[in-house]
Amino acid sequence: MVRKQIALTEQGAQWLEENREQVEMIEERIKARCVGAALRQNPQMKRALDNFKAVLDLHVNQSDISDAQIKKIIAVIDRAAFDITQLD
């Protein structure tokens, strides 16, 4: 079976150019999802990531949280990211 050839129209190219910032944001979200999908192949990693998301949702999205608490959460996440970069 031969695939149908498609091409970007001049109008489509113009729309993409006018919406470049939005398109780039969408592309970044897609890339992030691809990385996340690969990580979730490991059941223990999936459990840990799901737990992390649930705790963040509970404390950040579903409760009153102060700016000081948000700063503490951000610091914890930054420390965890740094610690991961230091693994051999």
Q: What residues does each domain of the chain span? A: 10-85
Q: For tokens 């693994």, what's the residue? A: 87
Q: What is the pLDDT of residues 9-62, one digit of tens each?
A: 999 999 999 999 999 999 998 887 777 777 778 899 889 989 999 999 998 888
Chain centroid, CA 12 distance in Å? 27
Q: Taking 90 as the threshold, does the pLDDT of residue 73 lie above it?
A: yes
Does the CA dihedral 59-60-62-66 come out positive or negative? positive
pLDDT at 34: 76
Q: Quick one: DSSP state of residue 42?
A: S
